[in-house]
Amino acid sequence: MRVLKGIPASGGVAIGKGFFLNRVLPRSVRSTVGRDQVDEEVAAFLRAVERSREQILHIRDGVADSSSEHHQILSVHLALLEDSMLVEQTVRTIRENQFAADWAFNKVLQNLLETFHRIEDPYLRERGHDLRQIGHRVLENLAGRPVDSVAAIRDPVVIVAHDLSPADTAQILKSPVLGFATDVGSRTSHTAITARSLGIPAVVGVEGATEEYRSAETVIVDGEEGVVVFDPTEEALREYQERRKAYAQRTRDLAKFARLPTVTRDGKTLLLLANIEFPEEADVALRSGAYGVGLYRTEFLFLNRKDLPSEEEHFETYRKVTEKFVRHPVTIRTFDLGGDKFTSQIELADEMNPAMGLRAIRFCLKEKEIFKPQLRAILRASMYGKVRMMFPMISGVGELREVMSVVEEVRGELRRRRIPYDKEMPIGIMVEIPAAAIVADLLAREVGFFSIGTNDLIQYSLAIDRVNEHVSYLYEPLHPAILRLIRRIVEAGHDAGIPVSMCGEMAGEPFYSYALLGLGLDELSMNAAAIPRVKRILRKSVAYEAKEFAGSLLLHSTAAEIDRALRKKVEDLFPDERF
């Protein structure tokens, strides 16, 4: 028996015969061809691209719902195959250097992958895997080898792979796949998101999984603990079979809470909302008991395409989600692009520190002609439900007023065109920069709501680079400075009479739920799967006791002290929960 650890991506336990899906990029050797062979190399490369395009088109056409995430990402893959950075650059590299087609393509591909690797935002960085998957398919076709297909799987299996492409996951929908483990990936990777949406147990980022796997052996995937077991003993098999039953029972128990309101034992109501990135996630959010959408990321509309999204594309996408939640709020965050946030159609100068550079609202204010179509679309969509508009990375009142003047300009355009919009639509900001937290009292007078983005607020407040392994241990949500900032933001919001939400990762961690209740947050927005469990904890809580306890937490001096105090409290109060 061999055991490897990875990142728990989707809950549950899968036990079955393993199936190795080869998705490793084939190696290329630097080689050149004679000048008279250059045209032939170019033609061979273009045939491989066309063959790949046909294969993806065939898979995409088999996806019944043309608005689904799978269909959308497969369309992105098709667009990548037409991208000048990938195709034209490869042809140019072959012609200028007389390189063999596979080496030239690999060289261009690796340069692009390196660009993605430097992106700090984990969601956007993971989109580099889409590019890698396209590269794998083209190289296999160039070599004349068949590309393994999930569609060919006939018996229940646990997949072990370097990574899964959207084409693979689209086929999983129709295949008897019990679960999967991949070498790479994170909780924000497409593979992980898909696993959660399908309810398939999965562990990603299992370094060496494909090397460890041996043909036809039994594999266990524990998506809760992030454990993968190869060739388990009889004792381990029995243990994990019991865990599988227990997980299924817990899921049934939690499902009951999805339909209940989030009201504490002493009558305080909190709103639990969902963070989403694609329109089809709205259905999952509704089934999980979301009261609405607290964070709708809109960057995906800009990714991996040659042109900018039109106002109609923005509008139709937002309308679709808004109509799903017709009686509940849908908080649309204007796009957070620029800096290290890669888009293929916008030329940006390199920056020394892109995370703090020209991105988010700063980028929008510089590129108003890209920003305004989105503003018009959000305003138009407001007629179809309870839309809220939210701006990322606001640093102060001056910047906020500049953004609001652009909004007013767009409102004027709509009025002149006699296009209706909700004149009372709430407009708020993400509080994720320490400066905004410090002047929260001033900002609160000018907006309709706050939403605390803990991921960036923690990073910037503690001056740490989350992707730097040498300092990542300093990323402490329970740092006294962070808890004090959260309380300050909540108090400033409430003094001004506006609600305060939290939409960072902290909001969806059940361990923090009791403390966040005590700090006075009105709404918590999280991944949909976390909602039933957070709801169960909050329904067992007493709000005024949580408030007193949160006050005592603020007296501690270190994150470790706070962690110990909170752990003891929640384990005493909720002995049936696992933290």
Low-confidence ranges of the chain (pLDDT < 50): 340, 342, 344
Residue 126 pLDDT: 61
Instruction: Name the DSSP letter for residue 181.
Output: E
Across 468-542, the runs of DSSP E, i.e. the strands, are 500-502, 523-526
Residue 484 pLDDT: 97
- CA-to-CA distance for 498 and 447, rounded, in angstroms? 8
Q: How many CA atoms lie within 13 A of 277 on its CB side?
A: 18
Catalytic residue status for 503? yes
Please name which of 14, 109, 4, 111 lies closest in space to residue 52, comparing C-alpha atoms: 109
Query: CA of 496: how far to CAs of 29, 292, 377, 525, in Å?
Result: 65, 23, 29, 21
Residue 342 pLDDT: 47
359 CA to centre of own chain: 18
Paired strand residues for 275: 295
- CA-to-CA distance for 203 and 195, rounded, in angstroms? 9
Among all chains, which residue has been given the structure tokens 């408030």? 547
CA end-to-end span of the chain, whole Å? 28
Catalytic residue status for 190? yes
Please name which of 73, 503, 121 lies closest in space to residue 279, comparing C-alpha atoms: 73
Burial of 365 (C-beta count, 10 Å sphere; 0-12/13-18/19+): middle
Residue 378 pLDDT: 98
Among all chains, which residue has been given the structure tokens 């997949």? 159
Do 453 and 333 meet the contact criterion of CB atoms below 8 Å apart?
no
Residue from 71, 190, 314, 479 carrying the catalytic annotation: 190
Q: How many CA atoms lie within 13 A of 30 on its CB side?
A: 3
Do 81 and 105 meet the contact criterion of CB atoms below 8 Å apart?
no
Residue 462 pLDDT: 94
Do 191 and 6 meet the contact criterion of CB atoms below 8 Å apart?
no
Token reading at 340: 């290290």
Total residue count of the chain as it appears in this document:
579
pLDDT digits (tens, 9 = 90+) for 113-160: 887 776 666 556 666 777 887 888 899 899 888 777 777 788 899 999
Please name which of 18, 16, 467, 10 lies closest in space to residue 209, comparing C-alpha atoms: 18
Among all chains, which residue has been given the structure tokens 């809580």? 541
- CA-to-CA distance for 122 and 143, rounded, in angstroms? 32
- CA-to-CA distance for 294 and 261, rounded, in angstroms? 16
